[in-house]
Amino acid sequence: MTARIERPLSPHLQAYRFTLTMAMSIIHRITGIALYFGTLLLVWWLIAASSGPGAYSYVQAFTSSFIGRLIVLGYTWALLHHLLSGIRHFIWDLGYGFKPNERETLTWVALIGGILLTVLLWIAAYAIGGGR
Amino acid sequence: MSAPNSPATRSMRTPLGRVRYLGASHSGTSDFWLQRITAVASVLLILPVVVVVMMLLGRNQAGAAQILGSPFVAIILLLFIIAMVWHMKIGMQVVIEDYVHGEKVKLMAIMANNFFSFAVALASIYAILKLSSGV
């Protein structure tokens, strides 16, 4: 084992002023992690659908319960937020939107857009009859 | 070309390593690029996937199985699952590499990440193929 070389480190989070884009960066990561574990829900749903009516009724009991519906609502928001926030990253990857007002605008659009799309999608879902 | 002992050539990198340009991870920037490919794929696929989920709301198992088993829906879902699971596997690896500093724990976490992601993908793909073949 060679000795660990003590190199200078960059300052960590507490050294910086709190900014919107910084908060969004953290939220992007948290929603990503939430979606990672949320895929278990997707797997459960698909396996149940392929297993039969008995297994599927458990999924439906879960998704029509209050806590289950809350989790699916959270999953919907995490997915849409991560999606819009990710598109923001594409715009930056292409080299646009780096001016202070531009990156603030992009961030607000992703933040509000994610909430708005979630609400619209759930209204549509209830209108279709998913609330039963 | 610089002289053999100039600072530019006095590097620990071997000539082959310099040609491959893959660095310490041995995979270069492939994960970075794949993360973008799978992200674009997910963005393109999200709309049809949302439509499929909406179609399934309020249906019983027989109705859901019938829709999920139709070729177009099955292919859309398969593409989405492959893109999304690949994306989340790379994403989680980045998180692990950022926050887990102990080498052994880090390697174990990365391995667990691979197992989890592969299991999620395979289970979903198996279920969709089973629905498609109607057995």
Asked if pLDDT for residue B29 goes beyond 90, the answer is no
Locate tokens 């994610």: which residue? A114
Rounded CA separation A6/A105 (Å): 40
Of A48, A57, A128, the CB nearest to B57: A128
Domain boundaries, chain A: 20-129
| Tens digits of residue pLDDT in A4-59 | 778 877 777 777 888 899 999 999 999 999 999 999 999 999 999 999 999 999 99
pTM of this structure: 0.86
Rounded CA separation A40/A32 (Å): 14
Q: What is the pLDDT of residue A18?
A: 85
Rounded CA separation B61/B40 (Å): 32
The one-character DSSP state at A13 is G
Q: Structurally, what CATH architecture does the domain formed by A20-129 represent?
A: Up-down Bundle (1.20)
Of A43, A49, A124, the CB nearest to B54: A124
Q: Which stretches of A94-132 are DSSP H helices?
A: 100-128
What one-letter code names the amino acid at A19?
Answer: T
CB contact under 8 A, A49 and B61: yes
| Tens digits of residue pLDDT in B42-85 | 999 999 999 999 999 989 999 999 999 999 999 999 999 999 99
- Three-state DSSP at B6 gives coil
Confidence of residue A2 (pLDDT cuts 50, 70, 90): low
CB contact under 8 A, B92 and A33: yes
Rounded CA separation B5/A92 (Å): 40
State the nearest Cα–Cα gap between B55 and chain A, in angstroms.
Answer: 9
